[in-house]
Structure 1
Amino acid sequence: MKSVKDETKQGPLKVGFVLSRSFTLSAFALFVDTLRLASDEADKSGRVLADWQVLGSTRHLITSSCGVQVAPTSDFIDPREFHYIVVVGGLLNADVTIDSQTSDYLKRAAAQKIPLIGVCTGTFILARLGLMKTHQTCVSWLHYQAYREQFPDNPVRSDRLFNLDRNRGSCAGGSSSADMAAFLVRRHISKDAERNALEVLQIERARSGLDIQPRKPLAIQCQDPRLKAVLIAMESHIEDVIPTEDLAASVGLSRRQLERLFTEEMKTSPGAVYTRIRMERAKQLVLQTQAPLIEIALEVGFDSASHFARLFRRLYGQSPTELRRAHA
């Protein structure tokens, strides 16, 4: 294997990490370990081609969502010391995820045009500071609805693994943290450095920002990545149903091309699949809540409770009320 130093760009890649309270350990570990392994040959771990710091307003230990604690390695030094500042989020139910000094530091970094990257729910932290309003944000499908509810005016999608939009980056978290870190390594260091890191991590290939999150709504099987993206969009828009033309345009297809893809791979139409996804959500609400049927109908995009009930009976063999009573 060629040395990772052969194609190095001038100066090491420098990354600062801001860890929220209850941050996700796997997202942080995969991101920083990709940098570590790209920074030197094999598994030597020298900070040759990349360097990193865990930044904090104090040196107190920061507890992750799994209970493991990490100590900051640096105070809030000049943001211009870093190529990127990465904010690693975690549990959304934490009352306070970062303190006021950290908020001020991130705002200062943004004012100095230092690229900020939200990993996992780190995007929520940046959005709360008003730093994602004009930037396309990528979040996990698991957090998509929460993001839309909290930041309805911010552009967001839940089908891609990560995104870098000018001076803002976002990443769904989990294993895709390594993919985003590998993207930065390839951009600032070299392809050889990227390959070295991924091989040691036993990752076969780096997925790009265009790769689709590994999510199969209703366990629907399909191979075409455009169909996977459309299925995730359907699942993310239960109440505000997206027209077929807009679904097709979101993946660069015409309506007719999308319908042909659905027919070839799933032997049915986009509309039929969309209806199935919405009705499965309705079934969950019927069984897991005591919400009135009209509220459930509206929740899954129906204006009429009677129309919803008729379709429900046709699909499941009994009315919503009968199903709820049977499982009481």
Structure 2
Amino acid sequence: MRDTPAPPDSLRLRVGFLLARRFTLSAFANFVDVLRLAADEGDRSRPIRCNWRVLGTSGQPVQSSCGVAIAPDEKLGDPSRFDYVVVVGGLIDEIERLEPDYLAFLHRAAKAGVPLVGVCTGAFILHRAGLMDGYRCCVSWFHHEDFLEQFDGLRPVSDRIFVVDRDRLTCSGGASSAHLAAFLIDRHIGRAAAQKSLHIMIIDEAMAADDPQPGLPLELKTDDPLVRRALLMLQQNMDTPPPVADVAAHLQVSRRKLERHFAASLSMSPAEAFMRVRLSQVRMLLARPDRTISQIAAETGFCDASHLIRVFRDGLGVTPEQWRKAQRETVRLP
């Protein structure tokens, strides 16, 4: 994974990775690339300031969910040689198949006081191993209901991109992995190194832990599978939102049945829920200063800027620009 070993006394951050079967490649790649770019002064991938190793029980490659396989660098060994141990999860069905040696290694790491990081469904793995009791935990909005089904009584955080709770750090996966890695770089090496890594990866700036995940508003969380499928269909077609009748037809149910399910699970109509999803996406995009109202309107399925402004004002009582200005002033408050 790198060409020149660094003297042990020059390292400021040492990270060991455990890859679950069918792990998410992008979550791993985003995390490790931030480390790689921060480890050297330029872009030569020399591990001068931080080191990263993929751990395994053997030299056999671990296949990701997209089919690309990664071979471990070294055996599990003593976890105390790392500053963090990162568990990268992936497909839900594979969580229970983590090797017993991996679980034993994680328990040794926790006993030694090594902070544990759960990336993507890595948080599920840490919970299943009994290593998240009493900790807050970040889970992707996409897997929120899956988490509740597997861990009765636990309430994951699904409206933030990552959560740092003492010696447990969890993130929702995908691009949030880069931001969690940048948080560690900032903590151990410095903000300039973290920003450099993100800028090379064409990421404008580091996001804070409490920045929102793009996804469904929390008031639309439901365990009704029909409603969840309908909301997911809308999210996947945000720029051209389908009519309620088309959603019902795609799901092979009558419009009336879909409306009954929405009323029972969310106390609102499908049309109202769909509009809430779109306005939630609008608010998220308004937080990005590079987006014009016209661009946001096109990305969220409104006819034009005027249409968006009218609907936004009817729903929230202010125009999009007024909302954006208020958010900026809130951020500037001490």
Instruction: State the TM-score bracket (shorter-chain normalisation).
Output: 0.5 to 0.7
Shift of 1:96: 4.3
CA–CA distance in structure 2, aligned partners of residues 32 and 178 of structure 1: 8
2:24 aligned with 1:59: no
1:163–1:314: structure 2 CA closer, same or farther, 3 Å change rule? closer
Structure 1 residue ranges without an equivalent (≥5): 1-8, 218-231, 240-279, 303-307, 316-328
Asked if 1:196 is matched to 2:202, the reply is no
Provide the secondary structure at the position in 1 that maps to 2:219. helix
Counterpart amino acid of residue 235 in structure 1: L
Aligned residue number for residue 146 of structure 2: 146
Identity %: 42
User: What residue is the counterpart of 2:212 in the other structure?
Assistant: 212
Instruction: Report whether the alignment pairs 1:91 with 2:76.
Output: no
The one-letter code matched in structure 1 to 2:108 is R
Q: Normalized against structure 2, the TM-score is what?
A: 0.66
Question: Contact 1:134–1:154 (CA<8 Å) still a contact in 2?
Answer: no
1:145-164 per-residue CA deviation (whole Å, 9 max, x = no partner) reads: 00011112223111100011
TM-score w.r.t. the length of structure 1 is 0.67
* Letter paired with 2:29: A
Corresponding residue SS for 2:218: helix
The alignment partner of 1:51 has SS state of strand
In the TM superposition, what are the counterparts of 1:163-312 in structure 2 within 5 Å? 163-215=163-215, 217=216, 232-237=217-222, 287-288=251-252, 296=261, 300=265
Q: Distance in 2 between matches of 1:85 and 1:285?
A: 47
After superposition, the C-alpha distances for 1:34-83 in whole angstroms (9 at most, x for unaligned) are 00000001201110100011011111110000000000001112111111
Q: Give the aligned residue type for 1:236.
A: K
CA distance 1:59–1:207, change in 2 (3 Å):
same
Q: Write the deviation string for residues 68-125 of structure 1: whole angstroms up to 9, x where unpaired.
A: 0000001112111111100000011237441111111111111222111110111111
How far, CA to CA, are the matches of 2:271 and 2:17 in structure 1?
A: 52
Measure the CA separation in 2 of the matches of 1:124 and 1:180. Answer: 17
Counterparts in 2 of 1:183 and 1:286: CA distance versus 1, 3 Å:
same
Contact 2:21/2:98 (CA < 8 Å) preserved in 1?
Answer: yes
Q: What is the alpha-carbon root mean square deviation over aligned residues? A: 3.0
| Cα distance in 1 between the residues matched to 2:77 and 2:262 | 53
Cα distance change on mapping 1:301 and 1:77 into 2, 3 Å: same
Partner secondary structure for residue 86 of structure 2 = strand
The farther-off stretch of 107-116 and 48-57 is: 107-116
CA distance 1:179–1:53, change in 2 (3 Å) = same
Match of 1:276 in 2: none
Deviation by residue 1:255-302 (Cα, 9 ceiling, x = unmatched): xxxxxxxxxxxxxxxxxxxxxxxxx8xx86994569x99x94796056
Rounded Cα–Cα distance in structure 1 between residues aligned with 2:127 and 2:134: 10
1 CA distance for matches of 2:19 and 2:271? Answer: 49
Q: Give me the whole-angstrom Cα distance separating, in 2, the residues matched to 1:286 and 1:52.
A: 46
Where does structure 2 lack aligned partners over 5 or more consecutive residues? 1-8, 225-243, 274-334
Secondary structure of the corresponding residue to residue 199 of structure 2: helix
Structure 1 residues 85 and 43, CA gap change in structure 2 (3 angstroms): same
Contact 1:114 1:167 in 2 (8 A): yes
Equivalent position amino acid for 1:179 in 2: H
Residues of 2 paired with 1:133 and 1:299: CA distance? 33
After superposition, the Cα gap between the structure-2 partners of 1:39 and 1:297, relative to the gap in structure 1 and judged at 3 Å, is closer
Contact 2:56 2:74 in 1 (8 A): yes
Whole-Å separation in 2 of the counterparts to 1:285 and 1:139: 31
Contact 1:135 1:154 in 2 (8 A): no
Residue of structure 1 in register with 2:317 after alignment: none
- Cα deviation for residue 10 of structure 1 reads 7.2
Closer, same or farther: CA 149–193 of 1 in aligned 2, 3 Å: same
The one-letter amino acid of 1:107's match is H
